């Protein structure tokens, strides 16, 4: 089957069928058999899993979270009105349901021995839970229990009742940040005062080797004294403690194997791009920093950085688009806080804050009316940002061999054109039609071949369509210049320097969308266009069109070779 889109659909259908029939989908085997579609398979399978999980998600914290229970009768129904409360067991008496998510349910309970209220979390499906569900639940308890910070919900006890694991936590009387944001953006100073302790708590988790991976407003509780708490470590991942290389212990490995299928872990509107792409190896402390920035963004605007009609559309926005600056949505948002949020939301991880403590330090600086590091104007920082790859650059792996072929096509066309020009100069005759036929037919045939070769490499992305339109425009200009010369009664190739300028513009667009290093190609082609205008004024043979062919060919060949090697190395 030659159509990559059709192959991709059938392969995804095969994986989905395995999942629905109770078999473990073997994504790695499918990828090995279809290496040319690896990137598309991993990303689309991850979004399919997310959409399936998200459809059944009901939110960990209910609308009544933190509110006093209406009754202490253990035989009463839960706050949802349909599920009976569990019978008392061990030291705990469930009183009311606080909320539930895809894996666990949380009750407000009384701990008899200490006469205190606790939050009791139990696995949602009880005795019907799969071994994977149980392992994840136990991993959450282990991750949360190892943390001791005043702004992280404390785990008191971990146990098992009738084969069903549970753990008890600090009960926070109050509300959630999500409920607070339901009324709209927060005042700037209130937002920062709430977020700084959250950042410090997340930094402490990182120092203890725990990534949260699901930071969002509903997982931040706020007590009656306005003290925030980070909760719900259900998607936490063990990593070596901050600043220590560490070794991967058996517990870490066993937890990671639960999510090694490429599934997306997190909540779409607040997850980092590397999470949205299901790239396990790239998820680290910077991923939590991104989520903290998304929370700050929501505090400033009243909505997350990305939201769409479906989880799949939201994931695609996270992967491909940049967030709207907060002050566009809320003109009252502070400019420095906007800059802090946007720094956290950078798609390249190295452009974000080094860690949650660095983010907290900048927020503290803002509270104290001090300069923030996000407003750095060091020349080296400017250069680093200007000449780096963007998050769209990965699409160039599909273009590597095509750009190398294009460089050869351009060079051959230009050399033939120059030979025709020299022949006409020697014979004293000139006809436009050979030039027009060469470029119209030659570029037309190549455009069709190029398009079909690219389609075989996999689905064409949104940013690729933009680049193709700009590039196609430059090719159309290159051929129409002959028609313009004809209408203006100018000698053939009089306007050829324009081709260099148009090609420079194309690489300028590519530099902004794909890779800042394309600025060098843009400058080279602009200079080539200017030089092409000067050469005919000298006593040298007119080799200007060949000069363009060499410079343009190298401009395509060098990055094409790089991305071709990058693709085959994967």
Rounded-to-integer distance, Cα 10 and Cα 233, Å: 36
Residue 430 CA to chain centroid, in angstroms?
A: 56
Rounded-to-integer distance, Cα 510 and Cα 523, Å: 13
Residues 6 or more apart whose CB falls under 8 angstroms from that of 101 comprise 57, 58, 59, 60, 124, 232, 234
Rounded-to-integer distance, Cα 12 and Cα 49, Å: 11
User: Would you please indicate which residues are annotated as catalytic (active-site) residues?
Assistant: 214
* Residue 45, helix vs strand vs coil: helix
The H-or-E segment that residue 302 falls in is: none
Rounded-to-integer distance, Cα 274 and Cα 285, Å: 12
Rounded-to-integer distance, Cα 8 and Cα 395, Å: 17
* Residue 3, helix vs strand vs coil: coil
The H-or-E segment that residue 170 falls in is: strand 164-170
The H-or-E segment that residue 348 falls in is: none
Rounded-to-integer distance, Cα 421 and Cα 480, Å: 18
Look-up of token digits 């069109």: 545
| φ/ψ of residue 435, rounded to 5 | -70, -45
Contact 109, 130 (CB under 8 A): no
* Residue 105, helix vs strand vs coil: strand
Rounded-to-integer distance, Cα 206 and Cα 196, Å: 15
Contact 42, 31 (CB under 8 A): yes
Residues forming beta bridges with residue 77, ordered by sequence position: 84
Angle at 483 between CA 479 and CA 488, to 5 degrees: 140
8-state DSSP, 88: P
Rounded-to-integer distance, Cα 287 and Cα 285, Å: 5
Rounded-to-integer distance, Cα 356 and Cα 538, Å: 62
Structure tokens at 291: 């989520």
């Amino acid at each position: 089957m030659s159509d990559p889109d059709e192959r991709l659909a059938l392969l995804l259908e095969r994986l989905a069928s395995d999942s629905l029939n109770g078999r473990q989908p073997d994504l790695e085997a499918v990828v090995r058999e279809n290496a040319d579609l690896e990137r598309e398979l991993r990303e689309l399978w991850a979004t399919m899993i997310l959409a399936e999980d998200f459809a059944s998600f009901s939110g960990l914290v209910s609308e009544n979270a933190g509110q006093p229970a209406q009754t202490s009768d253990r035989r009463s129904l839960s706050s949802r009105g349909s599920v009976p409360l569990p019978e008392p067991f061990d030291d705990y008496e469930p009183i009311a349901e606080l909320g539930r998510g895809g894996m666990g349910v949380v009750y407000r309970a009384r701990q008899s021995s200490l006469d205190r209220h606790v939050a009791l979390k139990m696995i949602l499906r009880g005795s019907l839970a799969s071994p994977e569900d149980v392992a994840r639940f136990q991993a959450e308890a282990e991750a949360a229990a190892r943390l001791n910070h005043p702004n992280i919900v404390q785990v008191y006890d971990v146990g098992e009742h009738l084969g069903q694991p549970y753990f008890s936590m600090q009960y926070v009387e109050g509300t959630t940040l999500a409920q607070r944001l339901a009324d709209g953006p927060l005042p700037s100073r209130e937002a920062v005062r709430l977020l700084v302790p959250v950042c410090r708590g997340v930094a402490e988790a990182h120092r203890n080797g725990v990534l949260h991976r699901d930071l969002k407003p509903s997982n931040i509780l706020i007590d009656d004294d306005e003290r925030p708490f980070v909760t719900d470590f259900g998607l936490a991942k063990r990593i070596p403690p901050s600043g220590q290389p560490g070794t991967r212990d058996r517990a870490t490995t066993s937890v990671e194997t639960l999510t090694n299928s490429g599934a997306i872990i997190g909540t779409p509107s607040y997850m980092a791009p590397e999470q949205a792409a299901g790239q396990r190896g790239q998820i680290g402390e910077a991923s939590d920093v991104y989520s903290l920035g998304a929370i700050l963004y929501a505090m400033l605007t009243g909505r997350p950085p990305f939201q769409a009609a479906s989880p799949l559309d939201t994931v695609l926005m996270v992967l491909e688009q940049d967030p709207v600056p907060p002050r566009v949505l809320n003109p009252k948002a502070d400019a420095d806080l906007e800059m802090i949020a946007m720094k956290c939301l950078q798609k390249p991880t190295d452009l974000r804050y080094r860690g949650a403590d660095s983010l907290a330090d900048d927020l503290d600086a803002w509270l104290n009316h001090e300069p923030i590091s996000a407003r750095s104007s060091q020349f080296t920082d400017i250069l680093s940002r200007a000449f780096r790859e963007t998050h769209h650059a990965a699409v160039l792996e599909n273009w590597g061999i095509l750009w190398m072929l294009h460089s050869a096509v351009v060079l051959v066309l230009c050399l033939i054109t120059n030979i025709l020009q020299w022949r006409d100069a020697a014979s004293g005759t000139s006809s436009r039609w050979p030039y027009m036929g060469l470029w119209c037919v030659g570029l037309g045939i190549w455009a069709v071949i190029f398009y079909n070769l690219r389609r075989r490499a996999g689905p064409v992305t949104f940013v690729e369509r933009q680049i193709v339109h700009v590039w196609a425009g430059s090719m159309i200009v290159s051929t129409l210049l002959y028609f313009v010369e004809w209408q203006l009664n100018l000698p053939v190739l009089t306007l050829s320097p324009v081709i260099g300028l148009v090609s420079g513009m194309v690489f300028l667009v590519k530099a902004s969308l794909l890779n800042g290093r394309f600025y060098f190609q843009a400058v080279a082609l602009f200079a080539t266009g200017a030089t092409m205008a000067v050469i005919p004024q000298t006593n040298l043979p007119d080799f200007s069109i060949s000069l363009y062919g060499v410079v343009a060919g190298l401009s395509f060949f060098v990055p094409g070779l790089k991305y071709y090697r990058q693709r085959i190395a994967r």
